[in-house]
Amino acid sequence: MIAQRIRAPLCAALLALALAAPAAAEPVKLSLLHINDIDRIEESKGRGGLARLMTLVNRERAAAPHSVFTHGGDTISPSLLSGFDKGAHMIDLFNEAELDLMVLGNHEFDFGPAVTRQRVAEARFPILSANAVDSTGALIEGTLATWTKEAGPYTVGFIGLTTPETPTISSAEGISFKPLIETARALSDDLRANGADLIVALAHLGIAEDLQLVYADSGIDILLSGHDHLQITYYDGQFAFVEAGSQGDTLMVVEVTMDTVDNRGTPQFVWSPQFRILSSEGVEPDAAMAAKVQGYLDQLSKELDVALGKSAVPLSSERAKVRGEETALGNLIADAMRQGVNADVAVTNGGGIRGDKTYDAGVTLTRRDIQTELPFGNRTVKLQLTGAQLLEVLEHGVSAVEQGAGRFPHVSGIAMTWSRSAPAGERVKSAMVNGKPLDPAATYTVATNDFIAGGGDGYTVLEEGKVLVDGSAAKYLASMVMDFVAAAGEVAPKVEGRVKAVD
């Protein structure tokens, strides 16, 4: 009888404890649907384009209990239509796509910070950049440093990071970029202190910067990046890192499983990723997005489908070529610049030639072709430099060829030889200006684009030149090339040893 009295209260207590204890939660899955570096709205060779991409995104959204559609930056430029509307159409299209989250890339600054702010204001989705600040130290108006997403009982914190290289490779006047690791660490700590379980960096960074975040104590769990146009999946058991190529050719899906496990009586959050790379090839375009895109393509055709003249020779603007060797197209552009402002020589950067395509001999070049190659809206300015300064320009141009840097020089009026094996700054072995040896003490007039004239792509020496024709008085570079081709009727540029590697 006594045993029964003892057993009954004990059973009741155990039952009460069991009822009070939380039931083991089911694992929660969150699908991160990631894209980056998209400025072309139409498909190319049966792949990419926003209509095909949206079919993939809509399928994944419908199948996922929780999802976030993210954009790793570089979208308002460079594109054909952005030369006319400064990227407004891209924001409109991603509003239509109901993009969840975007980070500023370097190309979001191509038209200057005022346009950046305008595009941010037009977006119906949050745009992040925690390390981009104005002269007062404040975030760019309209942007956020962090953003959170609830997925079941879990909170996912997002941090936006933009490459600090932006002032060198774009037009971010008055904007500075705080260090990546310190910014990520401080914000990840703050997010966790406020209840975040998982930290995701949505970033636009070069691969070296990506790897810094991977291997440093940044506090980040997952990095969704862009900038290099690479297709990457990486997971080392603690850190995940992806990049989705470019132009919507693929949709990168990171399916994150989140759970809570018992760790010696203490609940512990755990997560693991699974990667899927979905190709847009052969995918039926989303009808609503296809109609929206076609409206913009029709608008673009009215502006661009105008014939200019023929090329008697094949031309190439393939990325690796314009960033690493003399090309016929680069020579054509430089010649048009030199003639357009009546300069002794011309220098322009290969990173500003963006078509990444080839043209057959006999092709009729159109305004569309030239705008495709020169989409940034740059103007051709005229400077006066000493020969010593011009030599610095040439040295800088070939200083980072092995990295595929956009600074590679395309020239007119110059014939130079350079050594790949020599250290940067000592690579130019000879330089001729209009058939005569470059004279360090002489002065030369130089046609160049306003981007590198302002120190872009690291051409700080150009800022020392005397300005003869400034940006306000200058003509658009693309228009200058169009006029050059139209006036000639037929062009036949060739590779002729203007920038010749000797080893």
Say whether pLDDT at 18 is over 60.
no
pLDDT 10s digits, 326-348: 999 999 999 999 999 999 999 99
Q: Give 419-426's long-range contacts (Cβ < 8 A, gap of 24+).
A: 419/501, 419/502, 419/503, 420/501, 420/503, 421/503, 424/395, 424/399, 424/400, 425/395, 425/399, 426/395
DSSP result, 404-457:
T-TT-EEEESEEEEE-SSSPTTS-EEEEEETTEE--TTSEEEEEEEHHHHTTGG
Please determine, for residue 475, whether its predicted confidence score (pLDDT) is greater than 90: no
Which residues of 319-363 form beta strands (DSSP E)? 345-349, 358-359
Backbone φ, ψ for residue 404 (5° rounding)? 65, 30
Superfamily of domain 28-294: Metallo-dependent phosphatases (3.60.21.10)
pLDDT band at 472 (very low <50, low <70, confident <90, very high): low
pLDDT at 449: 97
- Every domain of the chain and the residues it spans: 28-294, 306-501
Least confident of 23-32, 65-74, 143-152, 208-217: 23-32
Question: Each residue of 207-239: pLDDT tens digit?
Answer: 999 999 999 999 999 999 999 999 999 999 999
- Domain 306-501, CATH: 3.90.780.10
* Fold match between domain 28-294 and domain 306-501: no
pLDDT of 17 higher than 90: no
Which tokens hold the place of 33? 């649907």
In this predicted structure, the answer to whether residue 404 has a pLDDT above a threshold of 90 is yes
Categorize the per-residue pLDDT at 9 as very low, low, confident or very high, splitting at 50, 70 and 90. very low
Write phi, then psi, for 277 (nearest 5 degrees). -110, 110
Please give the structure tokens belonging to residue 178.
């705080």
Instruction: Report the alpha-carbon distance of residue 129 to residue 170 in Å, rounded.
Output: 16
Distance CA 205, CA 201 (A): 11
Q: How far apart are the first and last CA of the chain?
A: 101
Cβ neighbours, 10 Å, residue 502: 12
What average pLDDT does this structure show over 470-488? 90
For 490, half-sphere exposure in the C-beta direction (CA atoms, 13 angstrom radius) is 7
Q: Could you count the other beta carbons within 10 Å of the beta carbon of residue 124?
A: 11
User: What would the pLDDT profile of 240-287 be if each residue is shown by its tens digit?
Assistant: 999 999 999 999 999 999 999 999 999 999 999 999 999 999 999 999
Q: Which of 96, 37, 97 has the alpha carbon at shortest distance from 61? A: 97
Mean of the pLDDT values across residues 147-157?
98
Q: Which DSSP helix (H) or strand (E) runs through 204? A: strand 198-204
pLDDT at 377: 84
On average, the pLDDT of the chain sits at: 93
